Structure 1
Amino acid sequence: MTRLLITRPLPEKVIEAARARFDVTLRAETTPLTPAELRAALHYDAVLPTLGDLFRAEVFADVPAPKARILANFGVGTNHIDIAAARAAGLAVTNTPGAVTDATADIALTLILMTARRAGEGERLVRSGQWQGWHPTQMLGMHVTGRSLGIIGMGRIGKAIARRCHHGFGMEVRFFNRSPVVDPGLPARQTDLAETLAADIVVVAVPATPATHHLIDAAALARMRPHALLINIARGDIVDEAALIEALQQGRIAGAGLDVYEHEPTVPETLTAMQNVTLLPHLGTAALDVREAMGMMALDNLTAFFDGRDPPHPV
């Protein structure tokens, strides 16, 4: 029977389905694989890894004849896996697109509303016992209806965010994408990066690749407007965190909403101390039915591979 390592606890529905098809070893820890565990994982027939399991080139170099034939990633992002090195070592790599789209778009809207309307700050005020009651100039934020929205990356998730913002809040949508988008699915303009960054609310929704590392750097942040908000639901290293902190400290942008961080799970104290920043613990897909769907999609990839068929979601 095919030996499968699942590197983190997953919903029980997924584990039951995996055990019905594979000889499963389920790792109990919720933290990423250690360097020794990464190398040991390649001695299984298959691995179901996820965010933070750093299958870099040096891991494959240390295991020159891996038994593993596939890394079936739990999640759509695969920046923790060196795809070229995995393929060179004879491993297929798959992911779980589609299942994450709506949940991640919902988190983008959560961050937009929380940051624009100062919801995190307000909740902290109430919990502190310092709230003195309503008054007309209390905690005035940004009214999001009718604002301009700039989306960086108009893939599945970018389009889902655009639909919510345009149809739900009447936002004028512009977007930057490396390739032409013939049909964005709603009234929207494809613009260059500078014009996209000039929107009232800018959402980062591109995949993490070497080409997008620090795409939002000091120069990009300088193109944003002083009242604007930056929202990141993609990957932390797309934004130069130090440059973002400096822009916030100097008032060059009004606020930020972050679900991801450059060095997760470490979040700089300068960010946690800022009232105008909304910080979430990478909740993008954190809904039970979504995580179940992701797990079942990963198992579909595994099952197809070991049945001799093409996995439905190769990377």
Structure 2
Amino acid sequence: MSQTHRTRLLIARKVPAAVANRAEADFHAFVTESDMDSASVVDFCNRHDVPAILIGKKSGLQAEHIAALPSTVRIIANASAGFDHMDVAAARERGIAVTNAPDALTECTADFTLLLVLAACRRASEYERIMRNGWGKSFGMTDMLGTRVNGKTLGIVGFGRIGRAVAKRAQGFGMRVIYTDVRRADAALENGATFYASLDDMLPQCQVLTLHVPGGGVPLMAKKEFGLLRKGAVFINAARGGLVDEDALYDALTSGHLFGAGLDVYQHEPNVDPRFAGLDNVFLTPHMASATIETRDQMGFTALDNVAAVLDGRAALNPV
């Protein structure tokens, strides 16, 4: 390290330049040039006694890593909404604050979800391939038809920040919105959306379904759940790949039960099941829902705001 002042923050993942510059100015941070792994994070912290760490998926910290951290560590900050790459309970047991950035991703993830809805319904990947291959053939009135978004019923699983932002956008497209969650939202937050107490009750009503809940555990959407959807429904996932049984999704897409799907997340990222790439009725993106300049900067700034609060002796702004 070249800093003359003591480093107060390890940034263990590559971050945008604006975030790195602020981190170096405010915390004399050590900013990695490529994502560090968990063992390297632990080693660095023990060699330099840093009180704060900003981690990513590759540098996720499980119980054994957290147990090996020095007592100087006071906060582990995540520049994302998700924190499934670390053991939060183990950190709490050691008195280490864990934070995330729940608001930073909301608007861009909601925008991207609508992109997936529109692209899957209107066969965007097929149309784009036709144009890149030179077009050369006119289409008639019955050729290459998509399905209209306006007037469709959109089912939302998880009515938190992102789910509600998606609902607002969908209503702007004239969609009817229904949702399910562990509890009903306040009427003011529902904004006209209809609550279903269970996923199984909601699925038969959905013409488009989108997921906005954390991952982990048994897949939420498996053979039974896809079977409950209406024939011709469209499935969207910009949440977590682990929410979906991909064999069941593939079967639903190839059998004709689903009209199509828009997917941004997968079970084994970045190694996506190659079967999906061979399907015309799937619009695929490489986990990019938050990938805008503004959002990635804000994700990093939120993590730094949390670091500043904890190191100043204040409560974390976004505790997990």
Please, what TM-score do these two structures have when normalized by structure 1?
A: 0.92
Q: Could you tell me which residue of structure 2 aligns to residue 294 of structure 1?
A: 299
Say whether the 8 Å CA contact 1:38–1:54 is kept in structure 2: no
Equivalent of residue 3 in structure 1, options 4, 8, 24: 8
1:216-251 CA-partner distances (Å, limit 9, x unpaired): 122211111220011011111111222212222222
Tell me the alpha carbon deviations over residues 7-52 of structure 1, each in whole angstroms, 9 at most, x when there is no partner: 22222211111111112121112x5x43432432543321111234
Give, in whole Å, the separation in 2 of the partners of 1:287 and 1:266.
23
Q: Is the 8 A contact 1:151 1:204 kept in 2?
A: yes
Which whole-Å CA distance do the structure 2 matches of 1:154 and 1:41 have between them?
Answer: 39
Q: How does 1:1-315 map to 2 (within 5 A)?
A: 1-29=6-34, 31=35, 33-43=36-46, 44-61=50-67, 63=68, 65=70, 67-166=72-171, 168-183=172-187, 184-191=189-196, 192-198=198-204, 199-210=206-217, 213-315=218-320
Sequence identity, in percent?
A: 40
Q: CA deviation at 1:3?
A: 2.9
Report the Cα offset of residue 185 of structure 1. 3.7
After TM superposition, the structure 1 stretch with the greater mean CA deviation from structure 2, 49-58 or 267-276, is 49-58
Equivalent-residue separation in structure 2 for 1:227 and 1:261 (angstroms): 22
Residue deviations 1:131-181 (CA, integer Å, cap 9, x gap): 413422231011010000000000010001001111x22111110101221
RMSD: 1.7
8 Å CA contact retained: 2:42, 2:69: no
C-alpha distance 258-42 of structure 1, shift in aligned 2 (>3 A): farther
Alignment deviations for residues 242-264 of structure 1 (CA, whole Å, 9 cap, x no partner): 22122222222221111111111
Tell me how far apart the structure 1 counterparts of residues 10 and 27 of structure 2 sit (CA, whole Å).
9
Distance 1:111 1:41, change over 3 A: farther
- Work out the number of aligned pairs and report it: 309
Aligned amino acid, residue 141 of structure 1? G
Seen in structure 2, the aligned counterparts of structure 1 residues 125 and 312 have a Cα distance that, compared at 3 Å, is same
Question: Which moves more between the two structures, 298-307 or 1-10?
Answer: 1-10
Could you list the runs of 5+ residues in structure 1 that have no partner in the other structure? none
Say which SS state the counterpart of residue 3 (structure 1) adopts. coil
Q: 1:156 to 1:107 in 2, by over 3 A?
A: same
Q: Does structure 2 retain, via aligned residues, the 8 Å contact 1:51–1:75?
A: no
Q: Distance in 2 between the 1:53 and 1:64 partners?
A: 13
Mapped to 2, the partners of 1:41 and 1:76 lie a distance apart of: 25
**CA distance in structure 2 between the partners assigned to 1:139 and 1:182 by the alignment:** 42
User: Which range moves more in the overlay, 50-59 or 298-307?
Assistant: 50-59
8 Å contact 2:45–2:69 — kept in the other structure? no
Q: 1:133 to 1:8 in 2, by over 3 A?
A: farther
TM-score by length of 2: 0.91
Residues 40 and 219 of structure 1: CA distance in aligned 2, closer, same or farther (over 3 Å) = farther
Residue type matched to 1:243 in 2?
A: A
Equivalent position amino acid for 2:293 in 1: L
Name the CA distance, whole Å, in 2 between partners of 1:123 and 1:73: 36
> How many angstroms apart in 1 are the aligned matches of 2:38 and 2:104?
29
Q: Indicate conservation of the 8 Å contact 2:210/2:236, yes or no.
A: yes
